[in-house]
Structure 1
Amino acid sequence: MGRSRKSPSEGSKNGSDFLQLDISRVPPGSRTAWLADTLREAIADGRLPVGTRLPASRVLAADLRITRGVVTEAYRRLGESGQIAGRGRLGTLVVAAPAPPADASPASHPAHAPFPAQDHNGSVDTLRALPCRIDLSPGVPDLAAFPRTAWLRAERAVLASAGPADFGYGDPRGTPALRRAVVGWLARNRGIRAHPDEVVIVAGVAQALNLLGQLLRADGVHRVAVEDPGSLGARQQWEYAGHTTVPVPVDDGGLDVGVLRACGARAVLLTPAHQFPTGVVLDGERRRELLEWAADGGLVIEDDYDAEHRYDRPPVPALRSLMPEGVCHTGSVSKLLAPALRVGWLLVPPARHAALVDAKRYADLGNGVLTQLVLARLMDSGDLERHLRHVRTRHRRRRDMMLRAIAAHLPGARVHGAAAGLHLMITFDGPASDGPAFDDTALAAASLARGVKTHPLSWHRMTPGPPGLVLGYAAGPAHEIDEGIAVIGACLRDLGKRRAGTKPGPPP
């Protein structure tokens, strides 16, 4: 059949659609180095983000009309430097971006630039959205353990028994069923006596702080004391709402109430049962001092964010159980079940309750009714307690694994807050800190460049203090903990070598 032959210009030109690679001008002896460098550059500038699957070596070799050995050797070099890894049936994936030279600015190295700065623009949320290979961020429970079977069982029961009114807007305070269930939960687990009418259901602690901010502004309060170190995310909530945050130091006894009195703030946010991030418990003497401060007209905002997760110490009663008139108490199921549910609760002193309900009504008319009814059934049935006992065991094992990994890979680190919670704080106040100029943000950024995500402690400080990291151990698979801490240890050693002028070693 008289098919016309393609001219050489119409045939393959030793190129690939993948990254528009063109190998025609590369000398044969330099092809491996060229391909490895080109892929490394694409990973660094974001064209191949973490999680990207690379072409199979035989496919890319056929596209470029080169031997398969060139491609496999280039892949091997990137694998040795920790940027790609084989994942069985998933193929070869990009797992980390290369770390920049120590003297490089973020602007000159796009792979390093995405690590967010500590500012007022949601840096915690920005970091949360960045891809990684191993996530050791604090603040998330074991989401793989979510009780799907119990949730579906409760959901079916709710839908089977729900009447037409249950599909309406509902009460802005929350459904009566969930408010009753929360009262029971708080009585059993936190020692708080309350009436369901005192409870307002909110969309997590973040909304609770936003609503309280509105109430305080209406009362002429524009300065809120916060723990230092303390949660950057909570501090940003207050500052976004127009409040000035005043740092109050935290030591082994918790918040320094003497400094609180001296600072003149009329409201304070604190985490007394398990201080974030240090893990200390507000001791008995400080509790008495704080309640005396509240009795003199101060307002205590108690964030009970993860008090149920404890391992090596007895439970600590909530401040609200001691002085309902001076304490706003807020908690949520974000650390009990999952942040995605966006369900929490807020109890305020009686004089502020009506204003709180109005603020909630005008914010969103109330949380979704069906989710509230399902959660109420989980609480009433005992399924939530059973789930808590289950994840406590899992979290304890992961906590122990992280402690062993820190001892092995970060021998100069000091561990804080291991008795409870979902995270550890470590500080570097010895030789491992590489002197007073040691930058924990640089360590966190270098770790992220190798695929491991965590928080620098300096993010959560308002005043200077020892550098460190805040390491979550609950969310990811247990086998990743040792690997993640090993990467952080290697990055710490590399930072020290760069400052000493020696060449960093290969990634673990």
Structure 2
Amino acid sequence: MEENWSTFRELLLPTAVGPRGLERALREAIRSGHLPAGIRLPSTRDLAVQLGVARGTVTAAYDQLAAEGYLAARRGSGTRVALASVTSSSAVAAPAPPVRWHYDLRSGMPALGAFPRTAWISACRIGLESLSDHELGYPEAAGLPALRDELAGYLARVRAMAAQPDDLVITHGSAEALVLLVRSLRDSGHTEVAVEDPSYPGQLELIIEHGLRPVPVRVDDEGLRVADLERTDCRAVVVTSAHQYPLGVVLSPQRRRALVRWAQAVDGLIVEDDYDAEHRYDRPAFGALQALSPEHVAYLGTASKTLAPALRLGWLALAGPRRAQIVESKRLYDRGSGVLEQAGFAELLRSGGYDRHLRKTRRLYRQRRDALLAELATRLPDWQPVGIAAGLHVVLRLPDGVNDRELAKRLAGKGIRLAPLSAYAMTTAPYPGLVIGYGNVGADRLRAAAAAIAGALNPVPPG
């Protein structure tokens, strides 16, 4: 024991300046196991002499660590490291440093550098000035009325929706909106929900975590196969109808109508995840599915793909009695979303700043998508892009027989981050492919990434 303390005393000498420095050094030594449980520390007088500090400095450090449970002092037995302290056998390892990707091509990330900082700051200032003193209290669980008013008008104009301000609920991103819906379905007797296959794995985790079983329904080039959905026992389904994730196809008009007829026949619920419909580059996007049957469609929207995920702003449009249950659940869950961000977003919508930002980023994303695909077409002509010209990612269909997981693993070893299509499938992927995000990567970097991908493919891993 004395040898342990002598070794650590040498470490303390150059670092223990003042009570806070000594306190931090002792705490770290206990956590790391340099001072194991049970070891007796020098008296405050002795340690003060050894370190050349005032006795009060040592006393203050000992008292603080005793209050935190690291040390235990008993009359007649001195001060010891408490038995409950972390020892070398149970010390928490330092977290591994994050991987530094040379090319980060993950999907779902917008151009963070394009965030309209000046317009946002101005909108937040004006929005804050517009708030009454009353509105600075606890927020309405459904969201700031001013934002719901502006958002209802925006959704009617841009997504052809039939939603009134009182149909909207403002949430912490679309993830919370989906959580609220899943919990509502579970509480009303549902045990399962249909999901697109392939689909976003994080969405499946969320559904399972909150008590429902996801049932896969295959997707083809017309979107969700509604005939397959009809053969399940599900009465709820989650769809990305405007731009299927990850395949990028659009739910065809025939299937849109068939899906609504299914919901009406079973008194079911369609959860329309409209995660990036603002980003279509060849033509305007189809109107939201919600307009075809507001009482049977719950619409999810988000600012994460248009502004930035850091805002945690989402919204849910839902008509009928389920909305009141959702609002009450949110009130009990988190007492409502932040008012200041809502006021800023309402002003950005009102002033036209949001529309201007979207016009700018649509051009930017189209340029990035074109740069990536042009370079890949030159270097890897057998790789075929799938889906419509939209969104922040593209799926590249690989030649038959290629193992996309092995290929993605090989590329990761070269510092290139992307995902195999098979990672999104609950059953089997329709074909081997790679899901490549381009939203947060400049055009020149995307060209270089395409060259790096091509250079890493000799030979291509077989299936």
C-alpha contact 2:159 2:287 (8 A) present in aligned 1: yes
Q: Does 1:474 align with 2:444?
A: no
C-alpha contact 1:443 1:488 (8 A) present in aligned 2: no
Give the Cα separation in 1 of the matches to 2:279 and 2:237. 24
Query: What SS is found at the alignment partner of 1:459?
Result: helix
1:442 corresponding residue in structure 2: 406
Q: Report the alpha carbon displacement of residue 409 of structure 1 after superposing the two structures with TM.
A: 2.6
Aligned pairs for 1:321-332 within 5 A: 321-332=291-302
TM-score, with structure 1 as normaliser: 0.70
* Alpha-carbon distance change, 161 to 209 in structure 1, aligned in 2, over 3 angstroms: closer
Query: What SS is found at the alignment partner of 1:331?
Result: strand
2:240 corresponding residue in structure 1: 271
Q: Report the alpha carbon displacement of residue 495 of structure 1 after superposing the two structures with TM.
A: 4.3
2:150 corresponding residue in structure 1: 181
Q: Report the alpha carbon displacement of residue 271 of structure 1 after superposing the two structures with TM.
A: 0.4
C-alpha contact 1:443 1:491 (8 A) present in aligned 2: no
Give the Cα separation in 2 of the matches to 1:146 and 1:275. 25
Q: Does 1:416 align with 2:386?
A: yes
C-alpha contact 1:300 1:328 (8 A) present in aligned 2: yes
C-alpha contact 1:172 1:357 (8 A) present in aligned 2: yes
> Which protein shows a greater Rg?
2
Q: Report the alpha carbon displacement of residue 349 of structure 1 after superposing the two structures with TM.
A: 3.2
Q: Report the alpha carbon displacement of residue 388 of structure 1 after superposing the two structures with TM.
A: 0.2
Alignment partner for residue 166 of structure 1, among 128, 135, 145? 135
1:150 corresponding residue in structure 2: 119
Question: How big is each residue's C-alpha offset from its partner over 1:185-242, in whole Å with a ceiling of 9 and x where there is no partner?
Answer: 1011100122111100001111111111110111111111111111112112112222
Q: Does 1:374 align with 2:374?
A: no
Alignment partner for residue 452 of structure 2, among 474, 480, 487? 487
Give the Cα separation in 2 of the matches to 1:201 and 1:314. 25
Question: How big is each residue's C-alpha offset from its partner over 1:436-493, in whole Å with a ceiling of 9 and x where there is no partner?
Answer: xx43222222222222211111111112232211111111122110121222223332
1:63 corresponding residue in structure 2: none
Matched to 1:407, the amino acid is A
Give the Cα separation in 2 of the matches to 1:132 and 1:363. 37
Aligned pairs for 1:259-338 within 5 A: 259-296=228-265, 297-338=267-308
Q: CA RMSD in A?
A: 1.8
1:458 corresponding residue in structure 2: 422
Q: Report the alpha carbon displacement of residue 422 of structure 1 after superposing the two structures with TM.
A: 1.1
Question: How big is each residue's C-alpha offset from its partner over 1:149-180, in whole Å with a ceiling of 9 and x where there is no partner?
Answer: 11111122233343322322110110001111
Query: What SS is found at the alignment partner of 2:193?
Result: strand
Matched to 1:474, the amino acid is G
Structure 2 regions of 5+ residues with no counterpart?
A: 1-95
Give the Cα separation in 1 of the matches to 2:273 and 2:417. 25
Q: Does 1:384 align with 2:351?
A: no
Structure 1 regions of 5+ residues with no counterpart?
A: 1-113, 115-125, 501-508
Alignment partner for residue 329 of structure 2, among 359, 377, 400? 359
Matched to 2:417, the amino acid is K
Give the Cα separation in 1 of the matches to 2:99 and 2:145. 39
Give the Cα separation in 2 of the matches to 1:131 and 1:165. 47
Question: How big is each residue's C-alpha offset from its partner over 1:336-361, in whole Å with a ceiling of 9 and x where there is no partner?
Answer: 10011000100123120111001111
C-alpha contact 1:226 1:246 (8 A) present in aligned 2: yes
Give the Cα separation in 1 of the matches to 2:314 and 2:365. 22
Matched to 1:446, the amino acid is R
Query: What SS is found at the alignment partner of 2:139?
Result: coil
Give the Cα separation in 2 of the matches to 1:468 and 1:493. 17
Matched to 2:437, the amino acid is G
2:222 corresponding residue in structure 1: 253
1:214 corresponding residue in structure 2: 183
Matched to 1:467, the amino acid is P
C-alpha contact 1:277 1:425 (8 A) present in aligned 2: yes
Q: Report the alpha carbon displacement of residue 130 of structure 1 after superposing the two structures with TM.
A: 4.1
Matched to 1:470, the amino acid is V
Give the Cα separation in 2 of the matches to 1:240 and 1:485. 37
Question: How big is each residue's C-alpha offset from its partner over 1:15-66, in whole Å with a ceiling of 9 and x where there is no partner?
Answer: xxxxxxxxxxxxxxxxxxxxxxxxxxxxxxxxxxxxxxxxxxxxxxxxxxxx
Question: How big is each residue's C-alpha offset from its partner over 1:351-407, in whole Å with a ceiling of 9 and x where there is no partner?
Answer: 201110011111211111000000000001100000000000000000100111221
2:376 corresponding residue in structure 1: 406
Query: What SS is found at the alignment partner of 2:399?
Result: coil
Alignment partner for residue 365 of structure 2, among 395, 403, 413? 395
**Moved segments of 4+, more than 4 Å:** none
Q: Report the alpha carbon displacement of residue 138 of structure 1 after superposing the two structures with TM.
A: 0.8
Matched to 1:487, the amino acid is A
Query: What SS is found at the alignment partner of 1:263?
Result: coil
Give the Cα separation in 2 of the matches to 1:131 and 1:350. 48
Q: Report the alpha carbon displacement of residue 494 of structure 1 after superposing the two structures with TM.
A: 4.1
TM-score, with structure 2 as normaliser: 0.76
C-alpha contact 2:303 2:311 (8 A) present in aligned 1: yes
* Alpha-carbon distance change, 406 to 243 in structure 1, aligned in 2, over 3 angstroms: same
C-alpha contact 2:173 2:315 (8 A) present in aligned 1: yes
Give the Cα separation in 2 of the matches to 1:166 and 1:330. 25
Aligned pairs for 1:18-57 within 5 A: none
1:426 corresponding residue in structure 2: 396
Query: What SS is found at the alignment partner of 1:265?
Result: coil
Question: How big is each residue's C-alpha offset from its partner over 1:396-431, in whole Å with a ceiling of 9 and x where there is no partner?
Answer: 00010011122123222121124111110112134x
Give the Cα separation in 2 of the matches to 1:130 and 1:205. 28
